[in-house]
Structure 1
Amino acid sequence: MNYWLYHRAQPTLGFAVRAFETSELARARSLAEMLRATQTNLLAGLDRQLAEREKSLRQSLRVKEDYKVSLLARAYKKEELEALDGELTRLESEYQQITETIRQHYPAYEQISRPTAPDLRQIQEHVIVDDETLLLEYSLGEEKSYVWAVTRNDISSAELPAQKFINEPAQKVYELLAVPPSAETEKKLTEAARELSQMILSPVAAQLNKQRIIVVADGVLNYIPFQSLPMPAANSEQMVAAHEVINAPSASVLEQLRQESAQRQPSEIVLAAFGDPVFASNYAQRKDPNVNAETVVAQNQVSQHALRDMEIKGDAFDRSSIQPLFYAKRELANLRDVAGSATLIATGFDASRESLESANLTKYAILHFATHGILDPKHPENSGLFLSMVDRDGKARNGFLSLQDIYGLHAPVELVVLSACRTGLGKEVRGEGLIGLTRGFMYAGASSVVASLWKVDDEATAELMKRFYANMLQHAMTPATALRAAQNSIRQEPQWRSPYYWAAFTLQGDYRRLIKSPAQVQSRYVRMGLGGALLMLLAVTFWYRHHRRTRIA
């Protein structure tokens, strides 16, 4: 980026600001390009025929444009080119008309088709809420890399090594984090994490005295849970000990999520949870709880040691081989205990795609999934989550919730929790990090998403989720604060001390909204009811006095 050459020569001219704002705009544009490239549905909520017409015209234009390129590369007749140009002109005219119609019905489409980004001042005013918040935004390059450190009133920048030098320790850290720990791997992880911290955090060490750190990563850094990295000072603790870490695809996305969240009406119900679904492997057990006891014991022994798996084999993955999660049932029971009985807990055969798509998700504050998923890094549109794959009659059903389906959901919730493996990953897109299920749920309306970066231990995850929800709903913590407190608590347990057990889950998105507990929601409606009754009483009193004065007169 040439801005950096000017900035290094004349730093007082504010080229760091221009470079930062350019980075933000590039991130917004790259997301739109990726969504179009994968044909992801951008038009959730629109009339289906209108959405299909837009998609059809867009695909036709691409086909004709590709054909024109191939035509010009060989000997062609003038009439062929004129006919093709005429067809392109007609298609472009139709596409302009339909996109204008879409913009009138769906204002958010403008932001996707013609993305913009807020400037530095807007980000400082609306995204960085106080003097205890720091935004770290990374840009990795072939020759040099950079990091911006943005506070409420200041911005600074630092030069980092080239991408290839950052990739090596970062990949090592991720690989060591994602495997069950041993004395040898833990020692190697400590060394690799220290090396990476010195490389990407030391240059901004003076700014790391803030309570809250927002990380906008780039490239391989999207795989790294920064809360597990040691602070740059010698013999210092991991970042989670003293800092609340929030991840974001970009500062611009945080601003957009803040605006949407501010316009949202308070939720009526705290939680909708879908999990512990039925697969071919456990159908007999779920259909008949009295099935052969030896079979159940054998299945449970396998499940107890299961990882919450996000397969990366894509289309080659055998869906009939999915095993149930032993601790998912306990996790959902814990959520009911914490969130109260007035929740939607869909399990077993009821944890179906049909149940999810028919639910009115606008009523809920939290949408929770406790299940397996599939990750296709090269083709993220094939990624998704598995709900029940078998119905009560033993017939196969489509229980796969694809990325396309997620973009098509209407889920304006405060928080989505993906209690499955590697749900935070996806295809790397320059500028917008890793586009996966996390970004899909944000597009569907979620203000924030908690997701994992590697195959997570089933039992540790169930316990982490229990503490996370208790912190949010019983101790009135924001999701970011609640997650940090739960991770700090879990890592004090000797058997779960390794970051393998607690660091996989990260929070992306808006970090400021408190989620009301069941008692607080009920209290709000009681106050509304009392207020309405009081108004009615005043109205009756006024009518009675007015009527009495009229009769006396």
Structure 2
Amino acid sequence: MARGLAVFFFSTCLLVPSVPAQPVCSPAASTKELARESALLLAAGKYRQSEQLSLCAERRAREEGNDALLSRVLNNLGAARLYQQDFLGAYGPLHEALALSHRVGKAEVEASVWSNLAAMYGMLSAWPDAGQALERALALMPVDSRFRPAVMAQRIRLAARRPDLRQGEFYRLWSEAMEWAESRADWQVQRHLWDELAIHHLDAGRLGQAEDAIANSFRLLVLHRLPDPDSLWMLAGRLRLAQRRPGEALAWFSRVRSRGRVQQSPVNAIRLAAFEARAEAMQHGPERALAVCRRNWLPVLEWRHAVLPDPTVELAADVAMTDLVNEYVTAAVESGGAVEAWAAVEQSRALNMLRRRKRQAVSDPQEGAPEAAPGQHLTGSQAPQSRLRPAVILRTASSERPSLPLSPLPPPPPEPARLLQLVQRALNRNQVLFTFWLSHGQSILWVITDDRFEAVRMPGREELAKGFQQLRDLIENGGDARGLAARLYNDSFGRAPAWSKMRAEWLISADEEPLNAPVAALRMTEGQPRWLGEARALSFLPSALWLLEPQAHRPAAGLLAVGGVVHNSADARWSAARRKEAQSGGSSSSPALRRASVRELEYELPTLPGSQREVEAIAALWRQQGRQVRLMTGFDASETAVAQALDEDWTDLHFATHVQPAPAPVSYRSASNPGSGVPALIRFPAGEPFLALSLRPDGTRDGLTERALARFRLGGARVVLNGCSTGSGAIQRGAGLSSFANAWLAAGARSVVASLWPVGDDGAFFEEYYRALLQGQRPAVALQVAQAAMIRDGAWRSQPSYWAAYIHLGKD
């Protein structure tokens, strides 16, 4: 079979047909004729010509006001750009076609648009969005539609990414899709089905069967002169890489790169660079792999910055980016470039928060799209769920490339040595920065102060991740974790040089298990054993480059405190409001209250009796210092009132209320793990966390979601979220931690204090915190003071299950 595949390699030299003369937008041709010709060009794989003719047809259809025809033309235009891997250019036309076809009742066109969107999201590995689009397409598409084989192929592609899919189910779906494609002689769909079968075998390590499938795909490609050989060349390169034949893999990857189209797809560009680096490392050693990473790094950063501003697409690109970062770090470390390896890790981590912050400045919803409700109204016990909706784009004519809510491309990043110098200048004499990079076999801890830099080795990811998770489980459940905490400290921070551990303030950059672990409950073993949170001030950073954010420290001047809100109908304030309304209105009482009496209240939650005392005690501390305070409790803490208050200039925000975590993430297999035979998982959020504000008197639940925070300009405020698990969430390597606390950083907060798990409803901890803050201490130090005070208390508050739940994120 290897010889047969080699024959196909040389045959593909003839695959790309010569480009015919450009299509003419003839004035004599009708708009329908132009649309029909562009569709034929699209079916023939002549995507650039189809795009140009579609643009001509689009202008004509707009002039004629023919929305039905315009929806078809825009769908063709989007598809032509999509299959040139111009995802940004395809995005606007497809979404306009979707709205138009729905409005004029063209169900088959609408189904085709959804199918194209499913294909686009699938190409970008945004599997949840692809799945929802595919469901819409199948629901709308007639059984005898000529597009149905393509949709069936997309269904198997999506199903294959589910980690729980059984092999028998995969083969059943694959056979059904192949029967559809064969019955309609759809050679291109058949080819893509063979590609999917090859990927399925590759992921399972069945390399011989993968080669058979690839050979069948090549056969169809050559015999029927099908377009788009790039994806098949990439697949052949992956196969050779898995077979440890790096020279042949590099030959395939070179053919992909020679076509140039990979540069239009951020995800594909990142994957190709990672594959090439892996192959070069196997064939020629780390120096050649490092050269590949250096050559691709700046273009990849630019492509990564320009990815569609859709959360699932961005998450998939983050995971793909991690593959390249892994190759870069391995090659740089083995070549003696510790600083360069560190810089690659930190630049990659900075991209996620940078994009989220830049989008805050242009959070203008697209016309016609459902608004991101500031507090989604809920019924029963349902938590807020995300909905498939177009990512926000600024409205433009669809024939233009969409103006996306992204800043212009950032300037080229500084050289690694210069970047290190900038970070060191941002550190003061009391601070040390620890950058974690966990990897199979062994991990690295970079240790940085204002005048020193050192890299130390740690155990591999599996051992450290298991240890951090065990520590969290033990601490959260009240177990004795001192032995484990000491061992884990010795395996991580304990390996750092002595001069670094003497610094009083520790800044931590990580994107995996350390983010979700009670690091404050590690046990320092130098001298007399102590809890780390008692001995050092700890802060987690989204990236070391967060230190370069131009935010000035603001003294504590004004506090907005929210707590003691009405969470359920058993609250005496709810009953009192009902009685008052009934007495004042008699039989003509509020229609809203009458509705509340005959239906279930929305999303009732347990009362937090201590939260009122907490915010009142904190407010008293601030008033004793002569500082401005606004206290919002009871029905006064409505969504509208809190939103208005957040528009004022507060230096500190405190929320003592329920925060409902996002639902468990949905996992899909990543197609970007080069040659390992063990596909990584992408964990996509299935919803948003929800900060509960007061029930309204009519029974409606008010609150704030992560999306709602985009409306506010926090101006570098310090935020305290004293609710359940506000600092915890799903961890994704390459994308970090998805938590409500990080959403506040993205919205402009300077620092956030949050909790890793539910804690007791008690205000003593934050009284200590604010006493220190009002005395001029920064948040991380104030948190350390509060944790030390709880430890000295000697009662139940001295247990790590109470004080170690709190963490500080950001800089102060």
Q: Could you state the TM-score of these two structures normalised by the residue count of structure 1?
A: 0.69
Q: For residue 451 of structure 2, what is the aligned residue in structure 1?
A: 153
Superposition deviation, residue 383 in structure 1: 0.9
Q: For residue 731 of structure 2, what is the aligned residue in structure 1?
A: 428
Superposition deviation, residue 225 in structure 1: 2.8
CA distance in 2, matches of 1:277, 1:362: 21
CA radius of gyration, larger in: 2
CA distance in 2, matches of 1:469, 1:250: 27
Which of residues 380, 391, 396 in structure 1 aligns to 2:696? 391
The letter for the 2-side match of 1:491 is I
Query: Do structure 1's residue 450 and structure 2's residue 753 form an aligned pair?
Result: yes
CA distance in 1, matches of 2:483, 2:710: 40
Over the matched positions of the two proteins, sequence identity in percent amounts to 23
Which of residues 221, 238, 243 in structure 1 aligns to 2:514? 221
Superposition deviation, residue 319 in structure 1: 6.5
Q: For residue 273 of structure 1, what is the aligned residue in structure 2?
A: 561
Query: Do structure 1's residue 29 and structure 2's residue 312 form an aligned pair?
Result: no
The letter for the 1-side match of 2:606 is Q
Q: For residue 104 of structure 2, what is the aligned residue in structure 1?
A: none
Query: Against the structure 1 CA distance between its residues 339 and 413, is the aligned structure 2 distance closer, same or farther, given a 3 Å change threshold?
Result: farther
Assess if the C-alpha contact under 8 Å between 1:375 and 1:383 holds in 2.
yes
Which of residues 267, 271, 288 in structure 1 aligns to 2:576? 288
1:343-365 per-residue CA deviation (whole Å, 9 max, x = no partner) reads: 11110001111111122534111
Q: For residue 488 of structure 2, what is the aligned residue in structure 1?
A: 196
Partner of 2:429: helix, strand, or coil? coil
Which of residues 552, 555, 558 in structure 2 aligns to 1:261? 552
CA distance in 2, matches of 1:123, 1:270: 36
1:397-450 per-residue CA deviation (whole Å, 9 max, x = no partner) reads: 241311111233222243011011210122323234212211211121111111
Assess if the C-alpha contact under 8 Å between 2:602 and 2:700 holds in 1.
no
Assess if the C-alpha contact under 8 Å between 1:146 and 1:160 holds in 2.
yes
Q: For residue 67 of structure 1, what is the aligned residue in structure 2?
A: none
Query: Against the structure 1 CA distance between its residues 90 and 365, is the aligned structure 2 distance closer, same or farther, given a 3 Å change threshold?
Result: closer
Assess if the C-alpha contact under 8 Å between 1:286 and 1:348 holds in 2.
no
Which of residues 396, 400, 411 in structure 2 aligns to 1:93? 400
Superposition deviation, residue 195 in structure 1: 1.9
CA RMSD of aligned residues (A): 3.4
Query: Do structure 1's residue 330 and structure 2's residue 637 form an aligned pair?
Result: no
Superposition deviation, residue 453 in structure 1: 0.7
CA distance in 1, matches of 2:717, 2:371: 30
Q: For residue 789 of structure 2, what is the aligned residue in structure 1?
A: 489
Q: For residue 808 of structure 2, what is the aligned residue in structure 1?
A: 507
Query: Do structure 1's residue 470 and structure 2's residue 771 form an aligned pair?
Result: yes
Assess if the C-alpha contact under 8 Å between 1:43 and 1:51 holds in 2.
no
Superposition deviation, residue 230 in structure 1: 1.1
Unaligned residue ranges in structure 2 (runs of 5+)? 1-325, 373-387, 580-600, 666-684
Q: For residue 365 of structure 1, what is the aligned residue in structure 2?
A: 651
Q: For residue 710 of structure 2, what is the aligned residue in structure 1?
A: 407
Q: For residue 642 of structure 2, what is the aligned residue in structure 1?
A: 356
Assess if the C-alpha contact under 8 Å between 1:271 and 1:343 holds in 2.
yes
Query: Against the structure 1 CA distance between its residues 54 and 212, is the aligned structure 2 distance closer, same or farther, given a 3 Å change threshold?
Result: same
Q: For residue 678 of structure 2, what is the aligned residue in structure 1?
A: none
Partner of 2:564: helix, strand, or coil? strand
Query: Against the structure 1 CA distance between its residues 91 and 506, is the aligned structure 2 distance closer, same or farther, given a 3 Å change threshold?
Result: same
Assess if the C-alpha contact under 8 Å between 2:696 and 2:702 holds in 1.
no
Query: Against the structure 1 CA distance between its residues 93 and 261, is the aligned structure 2 distance closer, same or farther, given a 3 Å change threshold?
Result: farther
Assess if the C-alpha contact under 8 Å between 1:61 and 1:91 holds in 2.
no
Query: Against the structure 1 CA distance between its residues 360 and 406, is the aligned structure 2 distance closer, same or farther, given a 3 Å change threshold?
Result: closer
Between stretches 272-281 and 318-327, larger displacement belongs to 318-327
Between stretches 423-432 and 45-54, larger displacement belongs to 45-54
Superposition deviation, residue 282 in structure 1: 3.4
Query: Do structure 1's residue 134 and structure 2's residue 440 form an aligned pair?
Result: no
Q: Pick 1 or 2: higher relative contact order, CA cutoff 8 A, min separation 6.
A: 1
Which of residues 246, 263, 267 in structure 1 aligns to 2:539? 246
CA distance in 2, matches of 1:274, 1:464: 17
CA distance in 1, matches of 2:651, 2:719: 9
Superposition deviation, residue 228 in structure 1: 1.8
Partner of 1:277: helix, strand, or coil? coil
Assess if the C-alpha contact under 8 Å between 1:214 and 1:245 holds in 2.
yes
Assess if the C-alpha contact under 8 Å between 1:268 and 1:363 holds in 2.
no
CA distance in 2, matches of 1:52, 1:162: 46
CA distance in 2, matches of 1:92, 1:510: 44
CA distance in 2, matches of 1:216, 1:348: 39
CA distance in 2, matches of 1:51, 1:349: 32
1:221-244 per-residue CA deviation (whole Å, 9 max, x = no partner) reads: 111232221124365212233321
1:195-240 per-residue CA deviation (whole Å, 9 max, x = no partner) reads: 2112112221422121111011231111123222112436521223
CA distance in 2, matches of 1:289, 1:205: 62
Which of residues 171, 177, 187 in structure 1 aligns to 2:475? 177
CA distance in 2, matches of 1:366, 1:118: 37
CA distance in 1, matches of 2:368, 2:353: 19
Partner of 1:421: helix, strand, or coil? coil
Query: Against the structure 1 CA distance between its residues 329 and 421, is the aligned structure 2 distance closer, same or farther, given a 3 Å change threshold?
Result: same
Unaligned residue ranges in structure 1 (runs of 5+)? 63-88, 104-108, 292-317, 512-553
1:9-55 per-residue CA deviation (whole Å, 9 max, x = no partner) reads: 553xxx1111111001211234578x6xxxx9934565445896999
Partner of 2:655: helix, strand, or coil? strand
CA distance in 2, matches of 1:467, 1:416: 16
Superposition deviation, residue 133 in structure 1: 1.2
1:78-132 per-residue CA deviation (whole Å, 9 max, x = no partner) reads: xxxxxxxxxxx9858331xx23xx56xxxxx347x99968955445545642232
Query: Against the structure 1 CA distance between its residues 32 and 364, is the aligned structure 2 distance closer, same or farther, given a 3 Å change threshold?
Result: closer
Superposition deviation, residue 284 in structure 1: 3.9
Report the count of equivalent residues: 422
Assess if the C-alpha contact under 8 Å between 1:118 and 1:252 holds in 2.
no
Query: Do structure 1's residue 167 and structure 2's residue 465 form an aligned pair?
Result: yes
